[in-house]
Amino acid sequence: MKPVSKHRLRPVLLWLVVFLFVAACYTVPETGRRSLSLIPASQEMAMGVSAFDQIKQQERLATDRAKIERVQRIGHRIAEAVGDDLPGAEWEFVLFENEAVNAFALPGGKVGVFTGLLDLAETDDELAVVMGHEVAHVTARHGGERMSQIFALTAVGVALDAALSGQDQQTRALAMAAYGVGTTVGVILPYSRRAESEADEIGLIYMARAGYDPRAAITFWEKMAERAKGASRPPEFLSTHPSDETRIARLQMLMPRALAIYEENRS
Ligand SMILES: [Zn+2]
């Protein structure tokens, strides 16, 4: 393979930098943070939809009507509270028969909840904590951001060693994994802690706007922490999330604003 001269590489890198930092930003709703976005929202959503279809075919769907109805009722109430934060979203809330205390979200408005979570989130307010958090991952487009970061890293790597051929498959595999498109739900890559904190913050606003008591976020995460202490392994939902102390302290800081929103919207 012929090495690429530095002379030819420089304009490529320059354009890459311009592309990354000028043309490719997304403003996260509610927090206003600027995030990297290299994939058009429409494409991101299409990938989320097809990934969700795949998961629905592979995983066991719950059959308990009352539980399904509960998840969908809370989910759609929160989705309504999202307003125009994610135009074009097609919200779908699906309950999977799985004892893991877990939930996940995919681009475009697809949220999966495991039956194991329902046993712990006894009240609707508590379930709204987790569902608000997952919906926030979607509107903040954290999946697309993670994928963009992988693309950016890969693009830089490719530009540097000028070896595009043969990398395609690996790049695609990485990108797909970033989206949570794996053979099982278990391979979904964890979000960064920053994304998790941001989803907590936005989720708290959504649940309050939907008329759910945001104070349930504190009691719910305390309950999760208590459960984690007794378990030999922390619940999956916790293992990829910020430490409980940090999380609860942050939520307490955000509570006055969330409570004011809740007072305006409670039924
Ligand atoms: Zn999360």
Among the ranges given (119-123, 175-179, 216-220), the one the predictor scored with the smallest mean pLDDT: 175-179
The confidence score (pLDDT) of residue 24 equals 74
Residue from 217, 198, 197 nearest 207 by CA: 217
Q: Ligand 1 center to residue 64 CA distance, Å?
A: 25
Domain extent at residue 129? 41-142+183-265
Matching residue, tokens 């600027």: 34
Kindly report the average pLDDT of the chain as a whole number.
81
Please write the tens of the pLDDT for every residue from 5-15: 555 666 666 66
Place of tokens 């693009």: 155
pLDDT greater than 60 at residue 230: yes
Kindly state the tokens that stand for 86.
Answer: 């994610």
In a domain, 59, yes or no: yes
Q: What is the DSSP letter of 61?
A: B
Residue 255 lies in a domain: yes
pTM, rounded to two decimals = 0.80
Residue 170 maps to a domain: no
Task: For residue range 190-222, list pLDDT tens digits in order.
Answer: 677 788 899 999 999 999 999 999 999 999 999
Q: How many domains does the chain have?
A: 1
What percentage of the chain reaches a pLDDT higher than 70?
72
Is residue 89 pLDDT above 70, yes or no?
yes
Tens-place pLDDT, residues 59-87 = 999 999 999 999 999 999 999 999 999 99
Report if residue 22 sits inside a domain.
no
Residue 104 within a domain = yes
Ligand 1 centroid to 196 CA: how many Å?
A: 5
Mean pLDDT of 134-149: 88
Point out which residues pair with 104 in neighbouring strands: 112
Q: Is residue 159 part of a domain?
A: no
Q: Ligand 1 center to residue 267 CA distance, Å?
A: 28
Calculate how far, in angstroms, residue 137's C-alpha sits from the geometric centre of ligand 1: 7
What is the set of active-site residues?
A: 134
Q: How far is CA 220 from the centre of its chain?
A: 19
**Alpha carbon of 133 to ligand 1 centroid (Å):** 6
Of 122 and 224, more confident: 122
User: According to the model, what pLDDT value does residue 165 have?
Assistant: 46
Neighbours of ion ligand 1 (CB under 5 A): 196, 199
Q: Please tell me the distance between residue 248's alpha carbon and the centre of ligand 1 in angstroms.
A: 14
